[in-house]
Amino acid sequence: MQNITMPTAGESILFGGDYNPEQWPRETWDEDMRLLKQAHVTSVTLNVFSWALLQPGTPDEETYDFSMLDDIVDTVTKAGLTIVMATSTGALPAWMTLRHPDINRVDFQGRRHRHGGRHNPCPSSPTYREFAPKLAGLIAKRYAHLDNLVCWHISNEMSGYCYCDNCAAAFRVWLKNRYGSVEALNAAWTTNFWGHTYHSFKEIFPPNELGDAVDENRSLLPALTLDYRRFMSDAARGIYNLEVSAVRENSSTATHTIPVTTNFMLDFKDYDYFTWAKDLDVVAWDCYPSYDTAPSHIAMWHDLMRGLKGGPFMLMEQTPSRANWQPFNSMKKPGQMRAQSYQAMAHGADTIQFFQMRRSQAGCEKFHGAVIENDGTSDTRVFRETAALGEELKKLGTSVAGSTVHARVAVIFDWQSWWGMLGSVGPSVSLDYLTEIDRYYSELYRRHIPVDMVSKTSDLSGYDAVFAPCLYMVDEPTAANLRTYVRGGGRLVVTTMSSIANENDRCHLGGAPSPLRDVFGVWAEETDALAPGTSVPLEFAEDVAGSVAPAGSLLCDIVRTDTPAEAGDSTQSTATILATYGGDDYYAGAPAVTVNEFGKGQGFYVATMPNSAALATVVSAVLSGLDAAVLEGGNAVVESASEGLEVSTRTADDGTALTFVIDMAGKGGEVRLSEPRTDVLTGRTIGGPTASESPLTLEKFGVLILQ
């Protein structure tokens, strides 16, 4: 676990979120305070988008006006709320974009934007790099002394790329630092392909539509796109860090440690969050599932956010009711917001925050839900549910905070592999990295097996099994890490599209999963892409449970367990075939799932995308012989639970464990415990002496927190 500083509201966790009183007349603020107190709100996030108010640009560019923010800060302080203070650089002042056009991004089509939107400064803009940290520093200097200021929030949901000339110049410097010489870059990128040999860094441009791009994800030289993604991730982190330094340098009056963070997002691919995490004192993220987002997918992203620093995180935003920017903005049903909040907590959230406190009366978020709706009263379902949750959380206090999830199974998540696969032309347009990670994660989730989401260079030695679906990009440190893990006794699963390329997106020679062929005892001679909607039956040596016939789809590697004669002295590997392809295609009978003994461990290779039946059989094979109770950890107290009930346990340093059982599907269900436990939400002992005989009934979106 890296160092994590979690803000709290004294005896309570942060419960509240974005509050934008600058959109309202002064009279409304006092009413807001009354209502927020009634909702048991303990914290507000202020100043997310106020740059244009704070720095009006007249009479000169050095004039700042903090009067309204002072008033807001004073109001919420008097109301006894804690403050998460944003630096307000998430939206640019219009005057600044007009006077200093370098601050506006140039898009993928090569067009310089003008003022509009938000979250869109050019990271290489001299104007932005001067004005943004200056403002952050002034804000820190002005408010750091406040006892109730508990967290700094830099910018907001930083995202996106710029393709301007300043970025091109900065990219060249970045490339020079990475490769040293243009010759080394040519070698790394294999630029003799399609005559791309460069003789000077000056010849290299961002991969946009005017140049090498095929589309926003792909270019003629995938290594160029890949490095541009890395560069943009670093450049955005660079402007984040400029503000962080300014805040720290100007916080000498602080009476306590104030952590600095920014808010991450769901399914976010632009930046590599693993590299960012070390620069955040605490990971914070905004969770906006759609009506059809699988609960397992939300759980996975919570686990990933916990994995970034190996400990608790902030749930910085969620909607109390509905979003507005999704295609179909369904309301959260009665109880669903509470269930989702506890789900976040069960996976490591130590704050429950919302966007937003009062609904905007105008602007593009006028249909976005809020704690205080347009009727302006407490007499709404959403307000009542928020207040009820606030009251419950107040009772829980900080008892859960700081504890973490203990997992014996890990899933490797890798932005670099995501980018690499996305940047590749072929082998199938249906290939989607997140879907493949979900596939394996959801099977573990279904089994109530806690999972750590880790990076490919994380220490894996504490895990009984590690799943690395589509680990496309394997560099030398990764290969060494994975090899060490299996040699030491780990069980490692890779799939088709794994260990294809090195860090420059150059294919490893010797057949995938080279350079780990000896670990898995197989190599993929061919990879077939299946026609959409088609599948290939799989024949397992073991019986397959259930009524669905096992099958593979999307891609089928045709793997061989022998070694080509010229490659080594042994011609047959030790791999055992667990399943073969059925059907009548030319590769019927070829291995589809294999396991190889390597050192003290095992390397599993899954050559296709398994359907649910095949996946369940594969996961059972991987986990066979491991003690289920150990794998499940604290979750093992749940002997059985209806489909759709989620089980997750947080354990404190002193061993105290809280097991959350949550009906995420909203269908209700039954739970059997192996021994009696106390539900900390009601104080009732449940389970009873004959615990496993009498099931408990959980209402729709019901939650139990068992101690």
Q: How far is the CB of 318 from ligand GLA (least distance, A)?
A: 9
372 contacts which partner out of Zn ion, ligand GLA, none, CB within 5 to 8 A by kind? none
> Catalytic annotation on 317?
yes
Q: Which is nearer to ligand GLA, 353 or 417 (CB)?
A: 353
317 contacts which partner out of ligand GLA, Zn ion, none, CB within 5 to 8 A by kind? ligand GLA
Q: Where are the beta strands (DSSP E) in 266-354?
A: 284-286, 313-317, 349-354
22, 61, 157, 525: the active-site residue: 157
Q: How far is the CB of 279 from Zn ion (least distance, A)?
A: 21
167 contacts which partner out of ligand GLA, Zn ion, none, CB within 5 to 8 A by kind? Zn ion
Q: How far is the CB of 316 from ligand GLA (least distance, A)?
A: 8
Q: Which is nearer to Zn ion, 121 or 550 (CB)?
A: 121
Residues 349-368 close enough to bind ligand GLA by CB under 6 A: 355, 365, 368
Q: Which is nearer to ligand GLA, 237 or 368 (CB)?
A: 368
288 contacts which partner out of Zn ion, ligand GLA, none, CB within 5 to 8 A by kind? ligand GLA
Distance CA 516, CA 523 (A): 9
Strand partners, 451: 409
Contact with Zn ion (CB under 5 A) among 139, 154, 167, 473: 167
Query: In sequence order, which residues have a C-beta less than 8 Å from that of residue 682 and are 6 or more positions away?
Result: none
Q: Which is nearer to ligand GLA, 326 or 457 (CB)?
A: 326
- State the amino acid at position 558 in one-letter form: I
CA–CA distances in Å: residue 704 to residues 291, 342, 421: 23, 9, 41
236 contacts which partner out of Zn ion, ligand GLA, none, CB within 5 to 8 A by kind? none
Task: Determine how β-strand 608-610 pairs with β-strand 657-663.
Answer: unpaired
323 contacts which partner out of Zn ion, ligand GLA, none, CB within 5 to 8 A by kind? ligand GLA
439 contacts which partner out of Zn ion, ligand GLA, none, CB within 5 to 8 A by kind? none
> Catalytic annotation on 183?
no
495 contacts which partner out of Zn ion, ligand GLA, none, CB within 5 to 8 A by kind? none
Element (H, E) at 560: strand 551-560
Q: Which is nearer to ligand GLA, 372 or 619 (CB)?
A: 372
Q: How far is the CB of 18 from ligand GLA (least distance, A)?
A: 6
456 contacts which partner out of Zn ion, ligand GLA, none, CB within 5 to 8 A by kind? none
Q: Which two tokens stand for residue 587?
A: 């590769």
Distance CA 615, CA 550 (A): 8
Q: Which two tokens stand for residue 534?
A: 């088609």
- Give the total of residues touching ligand GLA (CB under 6 A): 10
Q: Which is nearer to Zn ion, 123 or 295 (CB)?
A: 123
- State the amino acid at position 524 in one-letter form: A
Distance CA 619, CA 234 (A): 37
Q: How far is the CB of 156 from ligand GLA (least distance, A)?
A: 5
Q: Which is nearer to Zn ion, 124 or 455 (CB)?
A: 124
Question: Stretches 164-172, 211-219, 297-305, 517-525: which one binds Zn ion (CB under 5 A)?
Answer: 164-172
Distance CA 604, CA 582 (A): 20
- State the amino acid at position 269 in one-letter form: K
Convert residues 137-156 into a mask of x (bound to ligand GLA by CB under 6 A) and - (unbound). -------------------x
CA–CA distances in Å: residue 304 to residues 55, 267, 534, 592: 37, 10, 32, 29
317, 373, 385, 443: the active-site residue: 317
Contact with ligand GLA (CB under 6 A) among 32, 107, 157, 464: 157
Contacts 24+ apart (CB under 8 A), 361-368: 361/23, 361/24, 362/23, 363/23, 364/324, 364/325, 365/324, 366/324, 367/322, 367/324, 367/329, 368/319, 368/322, 368/323, 368/324, 368/325
Convert residues 307-346 into a mask of x (bound to ligand GLA by CB under 6 A) and - (unbound). ----------x-x---x-----------------------
Element (H, E) at 237: helix 222-249
Contact with Zn ion (CB under 5 A) among 162, 236, 393, 470: 162
Convert residues 46-75 into a mask of x (bound to Zn ion by CB under 5 A) and - (unbound). ------------------------------
Contact with ligand GLA (CB under 6 A) among 160, 288, 329, 378: 288
Q: Is 499 in the site for ligand GLA (CB under 6 A)?
A: no
355 contacts which partner out of Zn ion, ligand GLA, none, CB within 5 to 8 A by kind? ligand GLA
Q: How far is the CB of 365 from ligand GLA (least distance, A)?
A: 6
Q: Which is nearer to Zn ion, 139 or 162 (CB)?
A: 162
CA–CA distances in Å: residue 622 to residues 466, 471, 607, 617, 618: 9, 18, 15, 9, 6
Q: How far is the CB of 315 from ligand GLA (least distance, A)?
A: 12
Task: Determine how β-strand 669-673 pairs with β-strand 657-663.
Answer: unpaired
Q: Which is nearer to ligand GLA, 368 or 439 (CB)?
A: 368
Q: How far is the CB of 302 from Zn ion (least distance, A)?
A: 33
Cα dihedral sign, 238-122-220-555: positive
Q: Is 286 in the site for ligand GLA (CB under 6 A)?
A: yes
Q: Which is nearer to ligand GLA, 121 or 669 (CB)?
A: 121
Q: How far is the CB of 262 from Zn ion (least distance, A)?
A: 19
Strand partners, 527: 557
19 contacts which partner out of ligand GLA, Zn ion, none, CB within 5 to 8 A by kind? none
Nearest to 151 by CA among 313, 305, 7, 355: 7
Distance CA 128, CA 239 (A): 9
Distance CA 1, CA 699 (A): 36
Convert residues 89-128 into a mask of x (bound to Zn ion by CB under 5 A) and - (unbound). ---------------------------------x-x----
Give me the residue whose beta carbon is nearest to ligand GLA. Answer: 286
Q: Which is nearer to ligand GLA, 7 or 511 (CB)?
A: 7
Transcribe 365-408 into DSSP letters: TTTS--SB-TT-SS-SHHHHHHHHHHHHHHHHTTSSTT-B---S
Q: How far is the CB of 154 from Zn ion (least distance, A)?
A: 19
End-to-end CA distance of the chain: 24
286 contacts which partner out of Zn ion, ligand GLA, none, CB within 5 to 8 A by kind? ligand GLA
Query: In sequence order, which residues have a C-beta less than 8 Å from that of residue 92 and are 6 or more positions away?
Result: 51, 52, 103, 104, 115, 118, 120, 121, 128
> Diameter of the chain by CA atoms?
84
Contact with Zn ion (CB under 5 A) among 83, 136, 149, 164: 164
Distance CA 164, CA 125 (A): 9
Q: Which is nearer to Zn ion, 51 or 228 (CB)?
A: 228
Q: Which two tokens stand for residue 307?
A: 């994995």
Cα dihedral sign, 160-206-99-54: positive
Strand partners, 529: 555
Just list the catalytic residues: 157, 317
Which residues of the shown chain bind ligand GLA in the complex (CB under 6 A)? 156-157, 286, 288, 317, 319, 323, 355, 365, 368
Which residues of the shown chain bind Zn ion in the complex (CB under 5 A)? 122, 124, 162, 164, 166-167
